[in-house]
Every structure is written in structure tokens, then in C-alpha cells.
């Protein structure tokens, strides 16, 4: 069994519906879902703000590559187009960390699946929603293990301020 932390984001089409499609597909595997946050685009490409969230899921039958397949299937279902790096997208599903049954973070240097996500510690739009559901979460980058709150505090004020909680939820009953 693995536990995965997924960062999900969208700024094309019905962004909230795209995010909700991930939680709907997870079904009973969903452990928790953050609130929905609005964030300024990251990476320098001119575009509208994103909706972002983080979800945590468990699955006895999935390892990291099966989670990668899940992420790609969700993006394809949302008709994601990869035209410009860090450009607009209907749905982005990134694996932040994948943990084994005993709670160890799995590590991968495979260019298809870098684990933990190599830039998660630099992105308030990942760290802020993650803290919303796992206030004691930790993230290891290389040999540097820190609390997610410490990683977030190390970011520039402008980066942290660019992520704003919305009144939207991933709960489809609302």
C-alpha cells in the first residue's frame, strides 16, 4: 500500500470541475482534500490565476508508477494540452510524495517520475494547501528533511501572499 500526496491545479475551462474530477475518481481511496486556493501563475507565462488543492489518498494496489498513470489519465480526461512549459492547463496532477506502508518516503530519480517532486518545496501553491490537511507534514529534499511549514516560511513573502484561500470546496455535494 502507498499513500500519495497529489497537488492538483487548473486555470482553463471549469477549473473547479477539473479539480473535483480527481477527487471523484479517487472515490474511497481519498483520505483528505484541502480547501481550494487561488494562486498567481508560476513560471513567468502570462495567464490567468490557478485554482489549486492538495489531496491525500491511500491504495493497497498502487505504487508510484500506478499513481503516475492515474495522474496522466486524469489530465488526459480533462483534455490537457502541453503546449508551453508552465503554461495554462485544464488540469495538472503532480505527485508530491509517495509513502510506503511503513511511512517512508519513496525516492525516484527516474526522469519520468522524480520523487519527491523536485520543486514542491519552492511552491507556496503546493505547500499552503498541503498544510491545510496535514499541519505536521514533512518534506525531504535531498538530505534536508524539514516540516512543510518551515519550507513555506523560507519562501519570499510575495510567493506566500500569491496563494489565497477561496470559499470553494472539492466536496461535490456543495
CATH number at residue 133: 3.30.70.560
Compare 117 and 137 and report the one with higher pLDDT.
137
For residue 126, tell me if it sits in a domain. Answer: yes
66-87 pLDDT per residue, tens: 999 999 999 999 877 766 676 7
Residue 91 near residue 74, CB atoms below 8 Å: yes
For residue 23, tell me if it sits in a domain. Answer: yes
User: Number of folded domains in the chain?
Assistant: 1
Residues 6 or more apart whose Cβ sits within 8 Å of residue 83: none
Whether the model clears a pTM of 0.85, i.e. scores above it, the answer is yes
Arithmetic mean of pLDDT over the chain: 90
Q: Which three cell numbers stand for residue 153?
A: 516560511
Residue in 84, 64, 70 with CA at minimum distance from that of residue 22? 70
Residue in 40, 24, 30, 42 with CA at minimum distance from that of residue 6? 30
Give CA–CA dist 108/115, Å, rounded: 5
For residue 174, tell me if it sits in a domain. Answer: no
Give pLDDT, residue 109: 81
For residue 171, tell me if it sits in a domain. Answer: no
- What is the extent of the structural domain holding 52? 2-165
174 has pLDDT over 60: no
For residue 172, tell me if it sits in a domain. Answer: no
Amino acid at each position: 500500500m502507498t499513500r500519495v500526496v497529489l497537488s492538483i491545479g487548473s486555470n482553463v475551462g471549469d477549473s473547479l470541475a477539473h479539480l473535483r474530477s480527481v477527487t471523484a475518481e479517487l472515490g474511497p481511496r481519498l483520505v483528505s482534500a484541502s480547501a481550494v486556493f487561488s494562486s498567481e501563475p508560476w513560471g513567468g507565462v502570462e495567464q490567468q490565476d490557478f485554482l489549486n488543492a492538495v489531496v491525500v489518498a491511500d491504495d493497497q494496489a498502487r505504487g508510484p508508477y500506478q499513481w503516475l498513470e492515474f495522474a496522466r489519465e486524469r489530465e488526459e480526461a480533462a483534455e490537457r494540452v502541453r503546449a508551453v512549459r508552465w503554461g495554462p492547463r485544464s488540469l495538472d496532477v503532480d505527485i508530491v510524495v509517495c509513502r510506503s506502508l511503513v511511512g517512508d518516503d519513496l525516492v525516484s530519480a527516474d526522469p519520468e517520475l522524480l520523487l519527491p517532486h523536485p520543486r514542491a518545496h519552492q511552491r507556496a501553491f503546493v505547500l499552503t494547501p498541503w498544510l491545510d490537511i496535514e499541519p505536521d507534514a514533512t518534506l525531504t529534499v535531498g538530505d534536508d528533511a524539514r516540516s512543510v511549514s518551515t519550507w513555506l516560511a523560507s519562501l519570499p513573502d510575495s510567493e506566500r501572499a500569491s496563494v489565497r484561500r477561496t470559499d470553494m470546496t472539492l466536496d461535490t455535494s456543495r
